[in-house]
Amino acid sequence: MKFSFFFLLLLPYTIFVISESNYKFCISQTRTIGRSCQAVQKGNSQIVCVPATDSADCALKFQRKEVDFAIFSAEDALLVSKFINDDVRIIGELRNQDWINETFAFQTVVVVKETYIGGFQSLQSSNYCHPGFGDGQFWTDRVLKQFEATVVPHYCNGILTTVEQEITSLAHFFKSACRPGQWSLDDFVDKNLKKNFPSLCSLCDSPGRCAYSEEFQNSHKEALACLTENGGDVTYVSLQHVKEYFGLIPGFRAKAPAEKYKFLCSDATSQSLGKPCTWINQSWPLVVALKLRKSFPLEIIVAHFSL
Ligand SMILES: *[C@@H]1O[C@H](CO)[C@@H](O)[C@H](O)[C@H]1NC(C)=O
Ligand SMILES: *[C@@H]1O[C@H](CO)[C@@H](O)[C@H](O)[C@H]1NC(C)=O
């Protein structure tokens, strides 16, 4: 997905003035962003990535004027704002070109069948479709787990690790699921969990790989297909994809009848697909820059950043 800048201030967007020195781009070590960093540094890009352990570290580097610009998630920007002083300003939001007029980067929703009787208890022993974890997924773990964290009772067992408790809780709660991708960053742990809890992959097109057929081409559409075609009862996806999938916006043909499904809201009530209730409204990432530098090589960043 190509992203473009939506300017909060009217900045000229045509010619990028080549300056003498390089632009130091603070980047925290997350997987997807890490790859983009290698891409922006190629050739004569004038951009040098400065690795940071996390966004707070980037904020400190700003304070010491060791970096010229950075991209922060809206959540991180709030957290680090206390470090950032008058030398720094927000120069734009990183918005997806296709969704440039959307107020939010995405909104999360839960979709169930129209026949769903309501409440959260009825989700017990249901079939769950999730868009998945790991590379290619631009939602953070917090966002990806928001629905589960709300509805699934936490299984407590002191001898299990956090991820083992989490997966055990899910496997006890749902009858079957497709929850693709990496559950643990440790491959050995991940493999073992997949072996011990096959029900959490049994709704997938490829249960052995715990993956949908078009691996992460568009995992939200795959999760919706899991709901409407693979026997799923509930899915947690982005609102935009629901609108496209059910043909609720111009230019999209319905892949399933909207009247057979509804939204399950975070207060356990439900609403028709024409009347969304969102679980999370996620703001766009912010581009923050040191005031001292006048021009920024925006085109290069735009060309290489996908979230
Ligand atoms: C966004 O809004 C502008 C102005 O209203 C319009 O010209 C443009 O086509 C819209 N872009 C998209 C992708 O909807
Ligand atoms: C998200 O934004 C919509 C407006 O588009 C608002 O109606 C809704 O209450 C917000 N939801 C949350 C969870 O903040």
**Residuewise pLDDT in 10s, the chain (307 residues):** 344 444 333 333 333 344 446 788 887 765 455 566 676 676 666 778 888 888 888 888 888 888 888 888 777 777 777 666 677 777 777 777 777 788 888 899 999 999 999 899 999 999 999 999 876 666 888 899 999 999 999 988 888 999 999 999 999 999 999 999 999 989 999 999 999 999 999 999 999 999 998 755 678 999 999 999 999 999 999 999 999 999 999 999 999 999 999 999 999 999 999 999 999 998 887 888 877 666 666 655 555 554 4
CA of 101 to the centre of ligand 1 (A): 6
Helix, strand counts (H, E) of the chain: 10, 13
Question: Same domain, yes or no, for 47 and 129?
Answer: no
Amino acid at 20: E
CA of 105 to the centre of ligand 2 (A): 13
pLDDT of residue 284: 82
Q: Which atom of ligand 1 is nearest to the CA of 100?
A: 13
Question: Same domain, yes or no, for 73 and 134?
Answer: no
Q: 181 — phi, psi (to 5°)?
A: 90, -165
- Which one of 107, 275, 280 would you pick to mutate in the ligand 2 pocket, going by the greatest count of ligand atoms within 8 A of its CB? 107
Nearest CA to ligand 2 atom 14: 281
Question: Same domain, yes or no, for 265 and 299?
Answer: no
Q: Which domain holds residue 143?
A: 106-282
Nearest CA to ligand 2 atom 2: 281
Beta bridge pairs of residue 51? 27
Question: Same domain, yes or no, for 7 and 144?
Answer: no
Q: Which atom of ligand 1 is nearest to the CA of 101?
A: 1
Query: 93 and 287 in contact (C-beta within 8 Å)?
Result: yes
Residue 207's contacts (CB-CB under 8 Å, 6 or more residues apart) are 198, 201
Question: Same domain, yes or no, for 137 and 256?
Answer: yes
Whole-model pTM above 0.85? no
DSSP 57: H
Question: Same domain, yes or no, for 188 and 233?
Answer: yes
pLDDT of residue 1: 39
- Report the domain count for the chain: 2
Nearest CA to ligand 1 atom 9: 101
pLDDT of residue 157: 80
pLDDT of residue 102: 82
Q: Which ligand is nearest to the CA of 98?
A: 1
Beta bridge pairs of residue 290? 88
Question: Same domain, yes or no, for 190 and 213?
Answer: yes
User: Is there an atom of ligand 1 within 6 Å of 254 CB?
Assistant: no
pLDDT of residue 15: 33
- Which one of 75, 281, 284 would you pick to mutate in the ligand 2 pocket, going by the greatest count of ligand atoms within 8 A of its CB? 281
Question: Same domain, yes or no, for 222 and 112?
Answer: yes
Question: Same domain, yes or no, for 111 and 37?
Answer: no
Scanning the structure block, which residue is given the tokens 């010619």?
15
Report strand pairing: 3-7 vs 88-96: antiparallel
Residue 302 φ/ψ region, left for φ over 0, alpha for ψ in the -120 to 50 degree band, beta for the rest: alpha
Question: Same domain, yes or no, for 52 and 133?
Answer: no
**CATH number for the domain including 270?**
3.40.190.10
Question: Same domain, yes or no, for 142 and 51?
Answer: no
User: Is there an atom of ligand 2 within 6 Å of 271 CB?
Assistant: no
pLDDT of residue 35: 61
Q: Report how far residue 68's alpha carbon sits from residue 291's, in angstroms, rounded to the nearest whole number.
A: 9
Question: Same domain, yes or no, for 84 and 132?
Answer: no
Nearest CA to ligand 2 atom 11: 278
pLDDT of residue 170: 98
Q: Which atom of ligand 1 is nearest to the CA of 99?
A: 13
